[in-house]
Structure 1
Amino acid sequence: MTSTKRKRIKLGDVYAVPLPDGRFAFGRRFKDASIAIYRYIGKSVEDIPQNEDYQFIVGIYDDVLKSGQWTVVVNRPFEDEDEAWPPPACVIDKLSGGYSIYYKGEMKRASKQECDGLEIAAVWEAEHIIDRIMGEDKWHKDPLK
């Protein structure tokens, strides 16, 4: 019987995300159960991004990060608490069709135009994040269009 050691999640941890083509993407843990996925794709776990340039930031289930499936390769502390928050995200009420913006733990009503260009608030599983990194957009349909 093999046991997978569950890991403690820390802000600023950078995870190596194994991709189906043998390369590695990297994601940095933010507040609000979010992860920022770097634009940089490495050839190995050690080939980490050199700057904080992200392709997207989404919510992620904690069990993905605690499972040990993605290895923590480094911790990059945030310069201040404000930097650790993910950017605003759009929330669309499925019943009313109304729009809100979620930011720093608070929800504020918004218009469709105010939500334009924002990530739709959602919590993602590992395979959906990997699909998006690999260019498969079936998990990222923009309901604003």
Structure 2
Amino acid sequence: MKQGKSRKHIKIGDVYAIPLPNKKFAFGRVFNDAGFGIYEHIGENIDDTPINESYQFNVGVYKHALKSGEWTFLENRPFANVDESYPPPMCMIDIFTGEYSIYHKGEIRKAAKSESEGLEIAAVWDANHITDRIMGEDKWHK
């Protein structure tokens, strides 16, 4: 297995290999707004990279997850345009009032619960939680 390469300067479009407990690899791509898209493709090895830009999910990720060397930097895949570099809209729920909002491209707007259904909940994730989710382990999320 390749030794983890880290980058001092994280760039939009950077692609990382994420080693999984089953000895396969997931891959993630850096988006604007701390977004991190996890590719649908799971590779048999670190060189079995995704051939298209299809994602299982997109969440916020802590920078130290990208800089620790646990995940291997592979390449930079530039986005076709600025709009594509932003993660999809995410839902925010106020823990005190229960009101819904949608976060997208750095802006927050009030929303109805029905508008928020099916959207990812806005949060910043650590590496181990991302690995758990890829592996289908979501008991901590419930």
The TM-score bracket by the shorter chain reads: over 0.9
Do structure 1's residue 56 and structure 2's residue 57 form an aligned pair?
A: yes
State how many pairs are aligned: 138
Q: Percent identity?
A: 62
CA apart distance, 1:5: 5.9
Q: 1:5 to 1:108 in 2, by over 3 A?
A: closer
5+ unaligned residues in a row in structure 1: which ranges? none
Do structure 1's residue 69 and structure 2's residue 81 form an aligned pair?
A: no
CA apart distance, 1:140: 3.4
Matched residue type, 1:41 = I
5+ unaligned residues in a row in structure 2: which ranges? none
The answer to whether the 8 Å contact 1:33/1:59 transfers is: yes
Distance in 2 between residues matched to 1:92 and 1:127, nearest whole Å: 24
Q: 1:139 to 1:84 in 2, by over 3 A?
A: farther
Q: Counterpart in 2 of 1:104?
A: 105
Q: Cα RMSD (Å) of the superposition?
A: 1.3
TM-score (norm 2): 0.93
CA apart distance, 1:80: 0.5
Q: 1:105 to 1:49 in 2, by over 3 A?
A: same
